[in-house]
Amino acid sequence: MGCNTNCGLLTVATVGAVVAILGGILIPVGKYFVRETIKKEVVLENGTIGYENWILPGSTIYREFWVFDVQNPEDVMENGSPPILKQKGPYTYKMRYLPKENIMEHEDATLSYLQPNIIIFQPDKSVGPENDTFTTLNLAIVAAPALFKNGFLQTLMNIWMKSSKSNFLQTRTVKEILWGYEDPFLKKLPIIKIDRVVGVFYPYNGTFDGPYRIYSGKDDINKKGTIVTFNNSRTLQYWTSYCNMVNGTDATSFHPFVQKSEKLYFFSSDVCRSVFATFQKDVIVKDIPLYRFTVPPSSSASSVTNPDNICFCTDWEITYNCSVSGFLDISSCKQGKPVYLSSPHFLNVDQREFKYVKGLEPNKKEHSTFLDVEPITGLTLTFAKRLQVNLLVRPNLKITALRNVKHHFYFPILWLNESAIISDEKAEFFRSKVTNKIKLLQLLQLALMIVGSVTFLGFLFAFFICKGKNPK
């Protein structure tokens, strides 16, 4: 009888051990099936989930603008005092709601396409209408001497500036500042061939970004979405050396199975360069665990702090021998116009620049750029791209409107937040197809291991107790 009891206990313990081992075996087996399923669905090929989301993002993308209004215009123009700025916003626009165009599949496992630029005002998400007015920098007055450096020509331009009653500052509507207006000074230029319409983002609606050519991931899933060429070139023409390289994806997605230890590279035509983001923290968005990656301050640091940025330095005098942090000169990307990008409110900008502009209040939480990436699929489910557009203002004795400028400085025009968050419908779909299945597999693995281990140890313990009571 004792033997039968002992044998029964030992058999049950053995079964428990087998169950625990089965749970352990499910870990690599489960991971294998998850990997194969993900690889199949994220590849950019007609019929996959990845392809459908690539053609037209499932999340609505908005671009919010905060425009800076000069509070002391007379003091600035008459005495060269630092402008006191006050932001107002957001003025919100819906964008990227049209599918990619001219999509072509190539034999080398690449896809080429054009991204339509389209934007529409959203009154219900804005603080006011597009005809709200702001006192801001006169874009044409500041850009003209940067485009035409000849002293005699600048003297002639000054005559046309005064005859058009153009000043250092001007009052314009939000719509004009963003999307363009016919400038009165430029209209008077008799010989110079130049577009008479100016605006921070002119032209935009009806234009295209690209063409792009990217890897589909069919031959190597780790290259999925990586940009091969932009504007039919592997490199840019704005910088020198390696700064001209087009690296990474367009940031809407990355390769699957993203690790916290890696840098995620992406290219943005808005900033005319490639940048990278590093892991910051785990976040949960709509019950989906994500990795938050942020663009570090080192990406815009001076070459003194980050020597890798030396090829982004374009003017040794303006940047004090490339020691000024936080600005990116994209003038070569903007037909020579003195446009400089920074983080909003001069976040991570050299402190000495704050003495030339008043009213800025940098905030790391509100003004940093981040990407929330689902690590299994590599899809970006939430993001916020935050940039500030500034114009470099230089003193110029030949131009009356610039004579009172005492020192060169970066004049903030506006800052933007381009963002998206996965919709409730898409989040539910994602949870059902990815997150919940992975959770179920993990729970099954854990349950088998726990039940098996407890059964094994419990009945093994009982076996030894029973055996002690019934020795041979």
Q: Looking at the structure, do residues 31 and 123 belong to the same domain, yes or no? A: no
Residue 126 in domain: yes
- Taking the CA atoms of residue 403, residue 404, residue 409 and residue 414 in that order, the dihedral angle to the nearest 10 degrees is -100
Positive or negative, the Cα torsion across 330, 335, 339, 341?
Answer: negative
Positive or negative, the Cα torsion across 300, 304, 306, 307?
Answer: positive
Specify the number of domains making up the chain.
Answer: 2
CA distance 71 to 75: 9
Q: Looking at the structure, do residues 13 and 90 belong to the same domain, yes or no? A: no
Q: Looking at the structure, do residues 273 and 162 belong to the same domain, yes or no? A: yes
- Taking the CA atoms of residue 320, residue 325, residue 328 and residue 329 in that order, the dihedral angle to the nearest 10 degrees is -10
Residue 223 in domain: no
pTM: 0.87
Residue 345 in domain: yes
Q: Looking at the structure, do residues 19 and 143 belong to the same domain, yes or no? A: no
Q: Looking at the structure, do residues 368 and 253 belong to the same domain, yes or no? A: yes
For residue 27, give both structure tokens: 């870990």
Residue 90 in domain: yes
Q: Looking at the structure, do residues 283 and 333 belong to the same domain, yes or no? A: yes
Residue 113 in domain: no
Q: Looking at the structure, do residues 461 and 362 belong to the same domain, yes or no? A: no
Residue 192 in domain: yes
Q: Looking at the structure, do residues 154 and 26 belong to the same domain, yes or no? A: no
Residue 282 in domain: yes
Q: Looking at the structure, do residues 456 and 351 belong to the same domain, yes or no? A: no
CA distance 227 to 244: 13
Residue 317 in domain: yes
Q: Looking at the structure, do residues 140 and 165 belong to the same domain, yes or no? A: yes
Q: Looking at the structure, do residues 273 and 316 belong to the same domain, yes or no? A: yes
Three-state DSSP at 86 gives strand
For residue 385, give both structure tokens: 């791209």
- The domain in which residue 25 lies consists of 5-37+431-469
Q: Looking at the structure, do residues 143 and 199 belong to the same domain, yes or no? A: yes
Per-residue confidence of the chain (472 residues) as pLDDT tens digits? 445 555 554 454 454 444 445 444 444 544 555 566 677 778 999 888 888 888 988 789 999 999 999 999 999 999 999 999 999 999 999 998 889 999 999 999 999 999 999 999 999 999 999 999 999 999 999 999 999 999 999 999 999 999 999 999 999 999 999 999 999 999 988 877 788 999 999 999 999 999 999 999 999 999 999 999 999 999 999 998 999 999 999 999 999 999 999 999 999 999 999 999 999 999 999 989 999 999 999 999 999 999 999 999 999 888 888 899 999 999 999 999 999 999 999 999 999 999 999 999 999 999 999 999 999 889 999 999 999 999 999 999 999 999 999 999 999 999 999 999 988 888 887 777 665 555 545 554 454 445 444 444 444 445 455 555 555 5
